[in-house]
């Protein structure tokens, strides 16, 4: 049987397991700030793409509160074949990778497929 969260951590003190257990529902401030900065970088990078490329990348990777879409699903939305969508996605990713170096964000380059 697992120990009670109300059980004292040390026999000679009243501090309970619950009091020293981290709340996983609360994000560490450093992580929260890093995520905000990364979101801003992504928005800035996407602004280098054409509106159609930007929309394809957002749909494909589920950026900004949407679920990830398949090439075929995106093709249906734009009236394109899934191969054409793949080509546009590939070109957009290539352009993003080039922008990463010029904007001093080369550390993100390995994250692009």
How far apart are alpha carbons 5 and 100 in whole angstroms? 47
Q: What number of CA atoms fall less than 13 Å from residue 5's CA on the CB side?
A: 6
pTM for the model: 0.62
**Distance between CA atoms of 68 and 76, rounded to whole angstroms?**
14
Per-residue pLDDT of the chain (113 residues; tens, 9 = 90+): 566 667 776 666 777 776 666 666 676 777 777 778 777 877 888 999 999 999 999 999 888 777 999 999 999 999 999 999 999 999 999 998 888 766 665 566 555 54
pLDDT in the model for residue 113: 45
Q: What is the pLDDT of residue 64?
A: 72
Which residues sit opposite 72 in a β-bridge? none
Going from the N-terminus, what domains does the chain have, and what CATH number goes with each?
48-113 (1.10.10.10)
Q: Please give the C-alpha separations between residue 18 and each of 8, 14, 33, 90, in angstroms, as whole numbers.
A: 9, 11, 27, 49
């Amino acid at each position: 049987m697992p120990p009670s969260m109300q059980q004292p951590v040390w026999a000679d003190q009243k501090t309970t397991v619950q009091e020293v257990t981290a709340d996983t529902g609360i994000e560490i401030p450093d992580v929260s700030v890093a995520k905000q900065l990364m979101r801003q970088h992504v928005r800035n990078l996407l602004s280098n793409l054409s509106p159609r490329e930007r929309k394809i990348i957002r749909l494909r990777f589920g950026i900004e509160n949407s679920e990830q879409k398949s090439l075929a699903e995106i093709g249906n939305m734009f009236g394109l074949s899934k191969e054409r969508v793949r080509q546009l996605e590939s070109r957009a990713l290539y352009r993003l990778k080039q922008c990463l170096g010029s904007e001093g964000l080369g550390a993100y380059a390995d994250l692009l497929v």
